[in-house]
């Protein structure tokens, strides 16, 4: 196989390119259609071009915006997408746009793109898919309303996610009880997926002779999920809080956020047609056979009780330990990593490698925070080098034994007073933003002036471009620095800096500019 030797190397170790709206897909099964490739990108925005290199099992997919491409890569980093039961690998391309006008064999790709955009804009009714019954009407909602009758076994959000994921990418789910009935609203990426799911599942039993699904299209066209917990979930937003008074997710479940592939068979996200769905204690819900249907899906019994089983493989979703590489060994410290990664979660332990000081392990409070930190910090510049973060194969950071020489490179921060997310439902959950050149400062005492703060940042080696106090609250301010790298280094240096009068400066990345 032509690209056999480098495929292993590719999977994790090739340095990722900088973000681009063009994505490079590898290991594509040879019989995959243009529409199936496009379907990987659809949940994240408009797909504007496609180039298939079938001989090389590769393709290039161009999204309308870089933002859509970044969301797509972040979504598929913890969960490898599958086409025709085969894992497909996605990374940013070196190309900034796809120019395919003069290439041969582009007619099919262009036809597929036009068909998809026609369906998306509602100008074309999709004549019924595999079984030719019914059509998707223009303007039909991607949101389904699901009522479950004869509820003899508990049906969890996970179970619904697993069943409905067989028909396409599920973006959001909200569950609630109304008129003494367990109900759910479920939003797909595309009305076409909702159409097939309703066709295949309406009236089916989840378990033998009970838990009957009654499915209708909702009048809503989009769901607004405020909290990620066992009642509601937004699979495109890993950063939502669990919400006050809600039972917080058990760690293994939080780990599976945004990861429809974890508990399901390797068919997750395949062609999107109905598999037969079987449960350990039941042979209910056998979906009528559809041409090209996939093998039976068994849900692990742990999923039925609402816990997701996550295998302890290496570098897996569900791990809360990050491997951070390409650090500047002369300038990085465990405390610096604690402060920086602490912007995205509570850091429990940090270990800089004794023999290779440009590498470190950072243990976060849970897998969700690890994922968030990885998404926001990997690819950022720190002390002149581009930092890389991936999930580690280690499940925890070990502390050195008594008397073992460590040079102070391993630190336990689990009892630090500086954790930002200790309080459930803390406001800090709503203020998690990617690194930016503008920093949000708070906890400023009344006697500290603009010049005091500017000088503080200048002494830390920054160039200050702009500064302003909040009009309503002079305890807070925004400061704009010369670059994102400067801002990252200033945050490490000056977060918790003692300003006197028992005030310690709090520094965060801001979504605003001055």
Is the confidence at residue 342, as pLDDT, over 50? Answer: yes
Q: Is the separation of the CB atoms in 206 and 285 below 8 Å? A: yes
Query: What pLDDT is stored for residue 221 in this prediction?
Result: 87
Q: What is the mean pLDDT of residues 48-54?
A: 88
In the structure, what pLDDT confidence band is assigned to residue 53 with cuts at 50, 70 and 90? confident
The CATH fold of domain 321-399+406-412 = Alpha-Beta Plaits (3.30.70)
Judge whether residue 286 has pLDDT over 60: no
- Whether the per-residue pLDDT at 455 is higher than 50: the answer is yes
pTM (predicted TM-score)? 0.44
Q: CA–CA separation, 437 vs 180, rounded Å?
A: 51
Report the pLDDT averaged over residues 10-22. Answer: 66
433 or 405, higher pLDDT: 433
Backbone φ, ψ for residue 288 (5° rounding): -55, 140
Q: What is d(CA 113, CA 285) in angstroms, rounded to the nearest whole number?
A: 34
Instruction: State the Cα–Cα distance between residues 162 and 273, nearest whole angstrom.
Output: 13
Q: What's the rounded Cα separation, in Å, for the pair 99 and 22?
A: 11
Q: Is residue 285 within 8 Å of residue 272, measured between CB atoms?
A: no
Q: How far is residue 18's CA from residue 95's CA, in Å, rounded to a whole number? A: 10
Contact predicate 232/226, CB 8 Å: yes
Task: Quote the percentage of the chain above a pLDDT of 90.
Answer: 38
Q: CA 366 to CA 465: how far, in whole Å?
A: 37
Map 92-135 to HEC letters. ECCCCCCCCCCCCCCHHHHHHHHHHHHHHCCCCCEECCCCCCCE
CA–CA gap between residue 295 and residue 91 (Å, rounded)? 29
Q: Are 285 and 200 in contact (CB under 8 A)?
A: no
Using alpha carbons, list the distances in angstroms from residue 445 to 420, 422, 471, 503. Answer: 20, 24, 15, 6
Phi-psi region of 269 (alpha: psi -120 to 50; beta: other; left: phi over 0): left
CA distance 288 to 127: 19
- What is the C-alpha R_g of the chain? 25
Protein fold of 143-234:
Alpha-Beta Plaits (3.30.70)
- 433-509: CATH architecture: 2-Layer Sandwich (3.30)
Is the Cβ–Cβ distance between 425 and 241 less than 8 Å? yes
Instruction: Measure the CA–CA gap between 46 and 60, rounded to whole angstroms.
Output: 14
- Cα–Cα distance, 28 to 351 (Å, whole number): 38
Q: Distance between CA atoms of 47 and 124, rounded to whole angstroms?
A: 17
SS3 category, 428:
helix
The pLDDT value recorded for residue 139 is 65
Condensed to tens digits (0 to 9), the pLDDT of residues 373-383 reads 998 899 999 99
Place of tokens 């977060």: 495
- Mean pLDDT along residues 28-37: 85
User: Residue 384 corresponds to which tokens in the numbers above?
Assistant: 């002149």
- Where does the pLDDT of residue 138 fall: very low under 50, low under 70, confident under 90, or very high at 90 and above? low
Tell me: pLDDT of 1 over 60. no
What is the dotted CATH code of the domain comprising 22-113?
3.30.70.330
Contacts of 134 (CB under 8 A, 6+ apart): 128, 195, 199
C-alpha 89/C-alpha 166 separation (Å) is 20
What token pair was written down for 303?
A: 């999923």
CATH 3.30.70.330 domain residues, the chain: 22-113, 143-234, 321-399+406-412, 433-509
Alpha-carbon distances, residue 311 vs 82, 256, 322, 372, 398 (angstroms):
18, 11, 17, 21, 21
Residue 51 Ramachandran class (φ > 0 left, ψ -120 to 50 alpha, else beta)? beta
The string of DSSP letters for 162-182 reads HHHGGGS-EEEEEEEEETTEE
Backbone phi, then psi, for 458, in 5-degree steps?
A: -65, -40
Determine whether 102 is exposed, middle or buried from the number of CB atoms within 10 Å of its CB (0-12, 13-18, 19+): exposed
What average pLDDT does this structure show over 435-448?
Answer: 94
d(CA 356, CA 327): 10
| Segment 114-130 mean pLDDT | 47
Specify whether the CB–CB gap between 249 and 230 falls below 8 A: yes
The pLDDT value given to residue 248: 38
Q: pLDDT band at 118, cuts 50/70/90? A: low
Please tell me which residue, 363 or 102, carries the higher pLDDT value. Answer: 363
Rounded Cα gap, residues 79 and 87, in angstroms: 10
Does residue 311 have a pLDDT over 70? no
- Residue owning tokens 């400066």: 505
């Amino acid at each position: 196989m032509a690209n056999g030797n480098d495929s292993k190397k590719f999977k994790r170790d090739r340095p990722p390119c900088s973000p681009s709206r063009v994505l490079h897909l590898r290991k594509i099964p040879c019989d995959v259609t243009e529409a199936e490739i496009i379907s990987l990108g659809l949940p994240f925005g408009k797909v504007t071009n496609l180039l298939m290199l079938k001989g090389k099992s590769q393709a290039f997919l161009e999204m309308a915006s870089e933002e859509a491409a970044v969301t797509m890569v972040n979504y598929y980093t913890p969960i490898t997408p599958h086409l025709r039961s085969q894992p497909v690998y996605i990374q940013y391309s070196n190309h900034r746009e796809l120019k395919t006008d003069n290439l041969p064999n582009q007619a099919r790709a262009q036809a597929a793109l036009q068909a998809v955009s026609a369906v998306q804009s509602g100008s074309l009714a999709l004549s019924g898919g595999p079984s030719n019954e019914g059509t998707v009407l223009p303007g039909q909602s991607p949101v389904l309303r699901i009522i479950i009758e004869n509820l003899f076994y508990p049906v969890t959000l996970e179970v619904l996610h697993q069943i409905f994921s067989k028909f396409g990418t599920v973006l959001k789910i909200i569950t609630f009880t109304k008129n003494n009935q367990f109900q759910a609203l479920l939003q797909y990426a595309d009305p076409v997926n909702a159409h097939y799911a309703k066709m295949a599942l309406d009236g089916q039993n989840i378990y033998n002779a009970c838990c009957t699904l009654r499915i209708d299209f909702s009048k809503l066209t989009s769901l607004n999920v405020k909290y990620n917990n066992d009642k509601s979930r937004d699979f495109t937003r890993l950063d939502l809080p669990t919400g006050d008074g809600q039972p917080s997710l058990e760690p293994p479940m939080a780990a599976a956020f945004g990861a429809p592939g974890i508990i399901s068979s390797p068919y997750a996200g395949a062609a999107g047609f109905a598999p037969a769905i079987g449960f350990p204690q039941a042979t209910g819900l056998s979906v009528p056979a559809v041409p090209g249907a996939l093998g039976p899906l068994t849900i692990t019994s742990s999923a039925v009780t609402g816990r997701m089983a996550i295998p302890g493989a290496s570098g897996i979703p569900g791990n809360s330990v990050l491997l951070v590489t390409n650090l500047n060994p002369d300038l990085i410290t465990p405390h610096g990593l604690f402060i920086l990664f602490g912007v995205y979660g509570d850091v429990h332990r940090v270990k800089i490698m004794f023999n290779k000081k440009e590498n470190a392990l950072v243990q976060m409070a849970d897998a969700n925070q690890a994922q968030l930190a990885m998404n926001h910090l990997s690819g950022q510049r720190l002390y002149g080098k581009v930092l890389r973060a991936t999930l580690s194969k280690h499940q925890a950071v070990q502390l050195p034994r008594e008397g073992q020489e460590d040079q102070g490179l391993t630190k336990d921060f689990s009892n630090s007073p500086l954790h930002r997310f200790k309080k459930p439902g803390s406001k800090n959950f709503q203020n998690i933003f990617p690194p930016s050149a503008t920093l949000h400062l708070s906890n400023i005492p009344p006697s500290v002036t603009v010049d005091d703060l500017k000088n503080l940042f200048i002494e830390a080696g920054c160039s200050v471009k702009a500064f302003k106090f909040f009009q309503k609250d002079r305890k807070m301010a925004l400061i704009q620095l010369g670059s994102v790298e400067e801002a990252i280094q200033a945050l490490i240096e000056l977060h918790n800096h003692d300003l006197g009068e028992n005030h310690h400066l709090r520094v965060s990345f801001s979504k605003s500019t001055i």
